[in-house]
A and B are shown apart, each in its own frame.
Chain A
Amino acid sequence: MAPRVRLAVVLAALALACVLPFFLSGFRLFQFTQVWIYAIAILGLNMLTGFNGQISLGHGAFYAIGGYTAAILLSHFGVPYGWTIPAAALVCFVAGFLFGLPALRLEGLYLALATLSLALALPQVLKYFEHWTGGSMGLVLAKPEAPFGLPLDPDQWLYYVALAVLALLFWLAANLLGGRVGRAIVAIRDNPIAAQAMGIHTALYKSLTFGVSSAYTGVAGALSAIAIAYVSPDSFSVFLSITLLIGSVIGGLASIQGAIYGAFFIQFVPNWAQEISKAAPWAIFGVFLILFTYFMPHGIAGALRWLQARMAKARGAKPVS
């Protein structure tokens, strides 16, 4: 797609997202807010797994760290919620970077297991710091109101906050991944030895990718804590990590826009599955998963690319008059 066409599509999508709050009820809007939040988390995971080739089964842990960072700052220190989001990004960047250092020695499946252990351990660790985290009872937060007397209810306001953060982070990611750094990250995935020979500091780049990826997911966790107005260890079970990975794969692994498709999938498909069958919703979900992976091996983003290529080819094949 020509850059100008691409820009137009992105702007049109953004405009559509901006007018949505005026057509949807509070509950639907809340669901879309969740989609934007998931999209941010999945984009974080995509950077690591899709672009850099490091598999993480534990991104739910960073989501939780981000959520708890925001929740603790809000409830113990009275920090305005707007500041809790960059704070969560910072905390998760450091946590991810530090976790990325030892993880350098682990490849593929071993890294997947190490990250899984993080997701398994964190809910229990949270309980040990009961004074700060509220233990298993969790922390109840206040929902933010729209500032400056804007005529928006809290749902609409949170929707725009999530959308704005999403737009900013996606723009940053597109710049980061589209440039030199992005090429280095992908080169490490494709052939680490060749990448090193080209002068890329593999260890540094891998750790940094881990850090940035965690920061993204942490921001999503912070937004989620603010939108739900409650955190507890049960909110961040291992299943969350798996869900994020599902979203990442279904959306399209090495794709920025894929994160949004993946987010739609993990938000809405389980609900549809439940509507189809109350008795076995996860069996239905499983069928959806298999169908998607079978018919769209490169995710939804990959399928769209393929479709575009077909259309371009068909157009190109037309005789020039």
Chain B
Amino acid sequence: MNFRHLLALPAVALFAVAGSVSAQTVVGVTATEIKIGNTNPYSGPASAYGTIGKAIGAYFNMVNEQGGINGRKINYITYDDGYSPPKTVEMVRKLVEQDRVALVFQPLGTPPNSAIHKYMNQMKVPQLFVATGATKWNDPKNYPWTMGWQPNYQTEGRIYAAYVLKNVKDAKIGVLYQNDDYGKDYLKGFEDGLGAQASKLIVMKQSYEVTDPTVDSQIVNLKNSGANVFFNITIPKFAVQAIKKAHDIGWKPLHLLNNVSSSVGTVLKPAGVEASKGLITALYLKDYTDPQWKNDKGMLEWVAWMKKYYPEGKLEDGFNIYAYSVAQTLVHVLRQCGNDLSRENIMRQAANIKNLELPLLLPGIKINTGPNDFAPIEQSQLARFNGERWELFGEVLSAGSH
């Protein structure tokens, strides 16, 4: 090849690129298939979440066996990002540009989703039902292609604040929180909910790093602060320690435990049912380890599905219930799309969910979205642990009604 040919090459390539830009907006969909992309941390420090990505795949397998969605099979492509934002960017770009998926579903974690937030909205590819409780995913005006799913942490924090204000006289509140976006989001919602009195009511705040070995000393400090309310914002490992330690040193505050660690099987039982008695949390999903759902129809169906399609998954692991429910939400949206599976219509239908009830959501909790409401689940119900199971009490609470 001589030099002039070499110069001509880029020009040719540019034309080729320009030609393919005008592609239609129906990407990743054929008459028989719809391509859905996902990233999950199958390796690395957050790999406990990896079961969500696998369970979602198992759910889609069932949908496909039953004939798919309007005759189209789901082709689910999931990559490991190790919870590392640069890897998420690489993998999501691969999904969008090389695999050419119709949408990216349930990428997991606040930092990984933050890293692709702009990109997805520039490319106009749905970033649907992201697996994080941060509040920023509900921003349809600036990010019309991104939507969350679970109740966000701030909303939940406000629910606890309302409960304290209503039920505790002379509250002196101690808070233990994880020093990251998750812990701070909860804390912000809680403080907002307490309003102007927040700085007076909260007598002590203690934080921990996710890499810390224990939170024992924080619990001792909180007890010594004289707090009679304890807002416990910890992930399961630390929740077990905190509940145990508080019990061991004879601290008996009104103990509010964040939903993240509400599993009976993986948190309350290991911490000791005696120590866990009286804990209060806000729930939106049913818990397999909670005996009250033992004969629940939705739960029985879920167990049967787990055994058939995801036998290597753990029944006690609440993430599998989460994955099942979020996958059902997506399937609902895609069914609602009918034959128009353009990216625009997928977002339109995702923002058009009306009173959707799912078998594993608590009774009375409904999923609703709208063009200005990109927060699918906004309801929770308070529950108190009676030594055996969560006893739901009060009404189903929603973000606006406290």
Contact = CB atoms under 8 A, between A and B. Distances in A.
Given A23-B13, A224-B86, A235-B86, A140 B118 contact: yes
A127 interface: yes
A31 interface: yes
Interface residues of A, number: 35
Lowest 6 A-B CB distances belong to which pairs?
Answer: A22-B13, A136-B180, A27-B97, A230-B115, A232-B111, A22-B10
Interface string A215-247: 000000000100011111111010110000000
Contact of B180 (A19, A31, A127, A224): A127
Contacts of A278: 42, 78, 80
A312 to B, nearest CB: 29
A282 B43 contact: yes
Contact of A137 (B43, B84, B110): B110
B115 A281 contact: no
A30 B93 contact: yes
12 contacts: A22-B10, A25-B97, A27-B90, A127-B179, A135-B181, A138-B114, A228-B86, A230-B89, A233-B111, A237-B44, A237-B45, A274-B80
Contacts of A230: 85, 89, 114-115
B83 A234 contact: yes
A237 B85 contact: no
A34 interface: yes
B115 A135 contact: no
Interface of B: 6, 9-10, 13-14, 42-45, 78-80, 82-86, 89-90, 93-94, 96-98, 109-112, 114-115, 117-119, 179-181, 184, 209, 211
B111 A137 contact: yes
Contacts of A19: 6, 9-10
Given A22-B13, A127-B179, A137-B114, A27 B98 contact: yes
Q: Is the interface of A mostly helix, strand, loop or mixed?
A: helix
Contacts of B44: 237, 239
B111 to A, nearest CB: 4
Interface in A118-161: 124, 127, 135-138, 140, 143, 151
A242 B302 CA distance: 41
Nearest to A136: B180
Interface centre among B78, B82, B117 (most CB of A within 10 A): B82
Contacts of A224: 86
A230 B115 CA distance: 6
Output the residue of B6, B98, B115 with the most chain A CB within 10 A: B115
A302 interface: no
A278 B211 CA distance: 27
A30 B88 CA distance: 13
A232 B114 contact: yes
A140 B45 CA distance: 23
Contacts of B82: 239
A192 interface: no
Contacts of A31: 90
Given A19-B6, A136-B180, A26 B93 contact: yes
Contacts of B115: 138, 228-230, 232, 235
A66 to B, nearest CB: 14
Nearest to A274: B80
A205 B245 CA distance: 52
B239 to A, nearest CB: 19
A13 B123 CA distance: 33
A135 B180 contact: yes
A127 to B, nearest CB: 6
B265 to A, nearest CB: 25
A127 B42 CA distance: 25
A281 B118 CA distance: 29
Given A127-B179, A137-B114, A235 B84 contact: yes
A124 B111 contact: no
A124 B118 CA distance: 26
Contacts of A228: 85-86, 89, 115
